[in-house]
Amino acid sequence: MDEPQVAPPRTHRAGGGREAKRAARLARAATSVPYITRKVGVYEVLDEEGLATIERNADTILAEIGIDYRDDPEALDIWKKAGAEVDGTRVRCAPGMCRSIVTASAPHDFIQHARNPARSVAIGGKNTVFAPAYGSPFVRNLDEGRRYATIEDFRNFVKLAYMAPSLHHSGGTICEPVDLPVNKRHLDMVYSHIKYSDKAFMGSVTHPERAQDTVELAKIAFGDRYMDPVGGKPNTVIVSLINVNSPMTYDATMLGALKVYARANQACIVTPFILAGAMSPVTVAGTASQTLAEALAGMAFIQLLNPGAPLVFGSFASSLSMQSGAPTFGTPEPALVLYVMAELARRLGVPFRSGGSLCASKIPDAQAAFESAQTLLPTCLAGVNFVLHVAGWLEGGLAMGYEKFVMDVDQAGMMHTLLEGVDLSENGQAMDAIREVGPGKHFLGCAHTQANFETAFYRSPLADNNSYEQWDAEGGKDIAQRANAQWKKQLAEYVEPPLDPAVDEALLDFISRRKAAFPDSNV
Amino acid sequence: MDEPQVAPPRTHRAGGGREAKRAARLARAATSVPYITRKVGVYEVLDEEGLATIERNADTILAEIGIDYRDDPEALDIWKKAGAEVDGTRVRCAPGMCRSIVTASAPHDFIQHARNPARSVAIGGKNTVFAPAYGSPFVRNLDEGRRYATIEDFRNFVKLAYMAPSLHHSGGTICEPVDLPVNKRHLDMVYSHIKYSDKAFMGSVTHPERAQDTVELAKIAFGDRYMDPVGGKPNTVIVSLINVNSPMTYDATMLGALKVYARANQACIVTPFILAGAMSPVTVAGTASQTLAEALAGMAFIQLLNPGAPLVFGSFASSLSMQSGAPTFGTPEPALVLYVMAELARRLGVPFRSGGSLCASKIPDAQAAFESAQTLLPTCLAGVNFVLHVAGWLEGGLAMGYEKFVMDVDQAGMMHTLLEGVDLSENGQAMDAIREVGPGKHFLGCAHTQANFETAFYRSPLADNNSYEQWDAEGGKDIAQRANAQWKKQLAEYVEPPLDPAVDEALLDFISRRKAAFPDSNV
């Protein structure tokens, strides 16, 4: 696997004196890596025996119960030819069959190329890639409250994600631009990712034609870099989210998009989307077995379509409030599912997607933060490779929060430091400092502190660590109010990444031809 | 180690209909265990080689730099007799000496007896004990904002901790009752723990005489149960917090209290209290080596005083904001220190204290929650045995928050479920449910869900998981507003645990005699 290079640090304009120092500090803080390569180990909750039990149960589900592939005769045909037992729309695979198909050809990891090569991401292995939240019809900010999202919001979040040193990916449907027709908005979304960011992005999955449009736009954007001259296949430049209709069902929409992407050598994230208690049993082990079975079925199908096509094993699991029927987030059961699924993905040898900064709270309050942290930290410690929903998620995914977005970006920055682990170099051991200072003195002025203090600790741009008196004198703001000022400042300072005008013109030309080719529709 | 029994579930009065169901549910939710016994593994960030490096550096600190024992000639004398090199107030120990003294006699774990035997706690091994925050001069709530704490606040928090199923311990100086004289308030604090709770508690450490008062009150409270008739030594009924004056200094106040407790077979938590960058180097490894050295010195001193005396290896590490000099919490570096120290304590074979729900935020906003979660979850995954500051902490420990308290209790409840791990029983595997439901159906009504839904998922009493519309119709409250209603309701419903009137009288008699024996003072 070739290693993408570290992106060059972005610099900010510096004023004089104190402001210059602040700008210089921000510039250093903004030094970003294209993705995280974990230097610490993973946390695991099941041993060999427990994992084998889950795997055996998944095999039983695939062999005895089977998976439905609805409204897609081609899919049934492919499974029949592969040796599965097909009964109506139900497909049953002998124990071990799906696993063998996956392990025979699915890549252990792959590069998703970004428009800016320095921002290409390695998905799999010890790497973790952070992407913004996905799919909200609403947005929320302190000024306007909650309202439907527009393409302007979409562009804003692409810009904020581009500027966020701790987000490695531009994401996909960051929010639904409901001011645009359903059957054409994907063109504006994909264009926005290409135009306003140079990070890697995700494709449309709501119709096979929209998936094909995504591929065509990517061909224009990547030009000569779309095809890999060595392998003779397209480079992977799109990652897309294929949700399973749990329990145990794939529908024609998702299968249609999956087929377009898999055949074009673009990566699919096969994700059983489960609210445990409704779409799976109320237990962690039951949910894990079902998730594994469903994901294995989808991943094997991809390898049958195009052996060697890149893919990601996905798991989205929330538990259901048994009182209200609403999904809950940041509770311990989904965290346990996450740890188990990450272990199972490692055993299978494929990249894994899960987690994020999930919450049920409608506003960026302490509930949102507790729930988000109780999802993001397990995500990182479990060793998840691709993390959707890292920034902005509110209200079970129904709303994208502007303040929540920059708060989550800050937390994601902390995860970079955590996953760096402990520096055991001589400078890290700091015995010289301890010798210099000695009992009863302080370390503030010692040579080691002076040499290291600029980079010593993660610096949050949002946390207020000042004295109570100073905080009070500055208006006694909560973090959401500080976040409000920050996203506005960032949008005001945004500078577009360079894009070849000829490429831009070609993209716009393709889009206008496609938009003219059929009438607007909201289906 | 004898295993304290599971405390009986506390029941709530049930009304009719919907309210009855709710009360029954709360009663089940309130079923408490006396402490957590972890069924999952721990998370570790250093390997054998890294840990050996830290241990070697700690030995170097103890041998070459040494520890100061100030204003305590007896301590210097004890060290001299033990074979240490004493130079003025500086004590240097040969490499390995402190470790040998500790491992020769310090217990691997111990029971701290509670007034209610069903609430006695096992400290060490795979056990985790949660205690409220400690030491705040201020309190905060939504109604009054921030103000100085009083003995009434102290009693309130003892009551709230008593009622919290996820707190196992009554704590110590939950907040400073600044309306009482400094030299007598310990009597009221210890009395409040005994009177308003039946959970285990902590002793006064601000003066040797106040430590002795704590022991005397405990003797009265425990009566026949104070002495262990088998071992002929006092049972451990008090745990106390001995902070080291980092770097590398023990002062006479802390040494004085330590000596009283250690000689009475009561447990001390020896805790280097470190704001890295000021009291230790700016690096994780440097802070860990210094913490280990300081803690080893204190623990060895306890074993020299009374071989076999129970103790806890403590670590409190925050990093300093290098801009403002203020402590920061919930950042990645203190989490790394925490993981490292927990590993070192396990290698040493002694119980470990660290963590909590620490934050720098002044109010229970998203900053407070992010920071608290980013401390409490590492605390639990690291396998910390005694966790102070689990509930209420705000503003770097300067304020005790009423709303924060009940929010933290909720999070602590979730940790119970997390540390239970994955149920792999047949019911946990839930294959019958998956067989019954099959593809495309839902699990809500299936037999397995019906049989398990009451206990299936952790239920937060504070999180709002309702639809946006319902939440909005109910006033669009944030979690702090819901928490405000909850602590008031709990205080209104509080019922005192039974206390023998003769014991109560004896306690009050001791206290009034002590109070009359010397004038009030605020020193």
What DSSP string runs through B494-520? --PPP--HHHHHHHHHHHHHHHHHS--
SS3 category, B146:
strand
pLDDT tops 60 at residue A10: no
**Least confident stretch, A256-260, A272-276, A452-456:** A452-456
Q: Could you tell me the pLDDT band of residue A17, with boundaries at 50, 70 and 90?
A: low
Residue-level length of chain A: 523
Which residues, 6 or more positions from A185, have their beta carbon under 8 angstroms from its beta carbon? Answer: A151, A176, A177
Q: Does A500 lie at the interface with B, CB-CB under 8 angstroms?
A: no
CA-nearest residue to A482 within chain B is B367
| Among the partner residues A286, A443, A464, nearest to B279 by beta-carbon distance | A443
Flag if A457 and B277 touch (Cβ within 8 Å).
Answer: yes
Q: Is the pLDDT of residue B484 over 50?
A: yes
Spatial strand order of the sheet with A399-401 comes to A145-148, A138-141, A399-401, A393-394
How much is the pLDDT for B31? 53
Using a CB-CB distance cutoff of 8 angstroms, which residues of chain A are in contact with residue B443? Answer: 247, 277-282
Q: How confident is the model at residue A523 (pLDDT cuts 50, 70, 90)?
A: confident
Residue contact B365–A365, C-beta within 8 A: yes
Confidence at A386, pLDDT banded by 50, 70, 90: very high
The pLDDT tens digits for B191-233 are 999 999 999 999 999 999 999 999 999 999 999 999 999 989 9
- Per-residue confidence (pLDDT) for residue B17, from 0 to 100: 52
For chain B, the average pLDDT equals 94
What is the predicted pLDDT for the residue at A454?
A: 85
Residue A327: pLDDT band by 50, 70, 90 thresholds?
A: very high
pLDDT at residue A5, rounded to an integer: 37
What's the whole-model pTM score?
A: 0.94
Average pLDDT score over residue span A477-495: 98
Q: In what order do the strands lie in the sheet with A90-92?
A: A85-87, A90-92, A67-69, A249-250
Residue A374 contacts residue A381 (beta carbons within 8 Å): no
Phi-psi region of B337 (alpha: psi -120 to 50; beta: other; left: phi over 0): alpha
Task: Give the per-residue pLDDT at B13.
Answer: 36
pLDDT value, residue B145? 98
> Is B506 exposed, middle or buried, given 0-12, 13-18 or 19+ CB atoms closer than 10 A?
middle
CB-CB contact of A95 with A62 (8 Å): yes
pLDDT-derived band of residue A416, with 50, 70 and 90 as boundaries? Answer: very high
**Residue B343 reports pLDDT greater than 80:** yes
Question: Are A213 and A514 spatial neighbours (Cβ–Cβ below 8 Å)?
Answer: yes
Long-range CB contacts (within 8 A, 24+) of B69-76 = B69/B250, B69/B255, B70/B249, B70/B250, B70/B251, B70/B252, B71/B251, B71/B252, B72/B250, B72/B252, B72/B255, B72/B256, B74/B259, B75/B250, B75/B255, B75/B301
As a whole number, mean pLDDT of residues A180-184 equals 98
Instruction: List, as one string, the DSSP characters of B15-59.
Output: -SHHHHHHHHHHHHHT---SSEE--S-------HHHHHHHHHHHH
Chosen from B457, B460, B474 to mutate, greatest number of chain A CBs within 10 A: B457
**CB distance from A281 to chain B under 8 Å?**
yes
Distance from CA of A448 to the nearest CA of B (A): 8
Q: Output A269 or B27, whichever has higher pLDDT.
A: A269
Assign residue B83 a region (left: φ > 0; alpha: ψ between -120 and 50; beta: otherwise).
Answer: left
Mean pLDDT of all residues in B332-357: 98
Q: How wide is the angle at C-alpha A48 spanned by C-alphas A46 and A54, nearest 5°?
A: 70
Query: How many Å apart are CA A405 and CA A161, to the nearest integer?
Result: 9
Specify the length of chain B in residues: 523
Banded model confidence at residue B18, pLDDT cuts 50, 70, 90: low
- Residue A130 phi/psi, 5° resolution? -100, 130
Q: What does the pLDDT read at residue B26?
A: 46
> Distance (Å, rounded) from C-alpha B167 to C-alpha A71?
54
**Residues of chain A positioned with their CB less than 8 A from the CB of B398:** 468
pLDDT at res. A41: 97
Percent with pLDDT over 90 in chain B = 91
Q: Would the CB atoms of A457 and B369 count as touching at under 8 Å?
A: no
Q: How many CB atoms are closer than 10 A to CB A347?
A: 16
Q: Give the 3-state secondary structure of residue B331.
A: coil
C-alpha span between B514 and B497 (Å, rounded): 25
Query: Phi and psi dihedrals of A439, rounded to 5?
Result: -55, 140
Burial (CB count <10 Å: 0-12, 13-18, 19+), residue B294? buried
How far is residue B83's CA from residue B98's CA, in Å, rounded to a whole number? 11
Query: What tens digit of pLDDT does each residue of B29-56 get?
Result: 445 799 999 999 999 999 999 999 999 9
Amino acid at B161: A
pLDDT tens figures, B285-325: 999 999 999 999 999 999 999 999 999 999 999 999 877 88
- Identify the CA nearest to A190 among candidates A219, A147, A163, A223: A219
* Structure confidence at residue A16 (pLDDT): 44
Residue A368's nearest CA partner among B343, B357, B373, B138 is: B373
What CA–CA distances, in Å, run from B99 to A63, A205, B105, B125? Answer: 57, 61, 10, 19
Which of A370, A455, A479 is most worth mutating to test chain B (most B CB atoms within 10 A of its CB)? A370
Q: DSSP for B211-278?
A: HHHHHHHHHHHHGGGSB-TTTSSB---EEEEEEE-SSSEE-HHHHHHHHHHHHTT-EEEEEEEEEETT
B333 has a chain A CB within 8 A of its CB:
yes
Task: State the CB neighbour count (10 A cutoff) for residue B314.
Answer: 29
Instruction: Tell whether B479 is within 8 A of chain A (Cβ).
Output: yes
Look up residue A117 and give its DSSP letter.
G
- CB-nearest to B326 from A325, A465, A478 is A465
Torsion sign, CA atoms A164, A167, A172, A174: negative
Q: Does the distance separating the beta carbons of A365 and B332 come in below 8 Å?
A: no
Percent above pLDDT 70 for chain A: 94
Average pLDDT over residues B358-377: 98
Mean pLDDT across the stretch A414-427?
98
How do residues A356-367 score in pLDDT, each as one tens digit? 999 999 999 999
- Give every CB contact of residue A206 below 8 A, 6+ residues apart in sequence: A182, A186, A253, A257
Q: 110-149 in A: which are within 8 Å (CB) of B?
A: 146
Chain B partners of A468 at a C-beta cutoff of 8 Å?
146, 362, 395, 398-399
| Residues A354, A360, A365, A366, CA torsion sign | negative
Does the beta-carbon distance from A423 to B399 stay under 8 Å? no
- Helix residue spans in A106-149 (DSSP H): none
Q: What is the mean pLDDT of chain A?
A: 94
Cβ–Cβ contact A340 with B under 8 A: yes
CB spacing of B377 vs A377 below 8 angstroms: yes
Take residue B158 and report the two structure tokens written for it.
Answer: 């003892």
Whole-number pLDDT of residue B325: 85
B93: how many CB neighbours lie within 10 A of its CB? 25
Whether the pLDDT of residue A18 is over 70: the answer is: no
DSSP state of A438: -
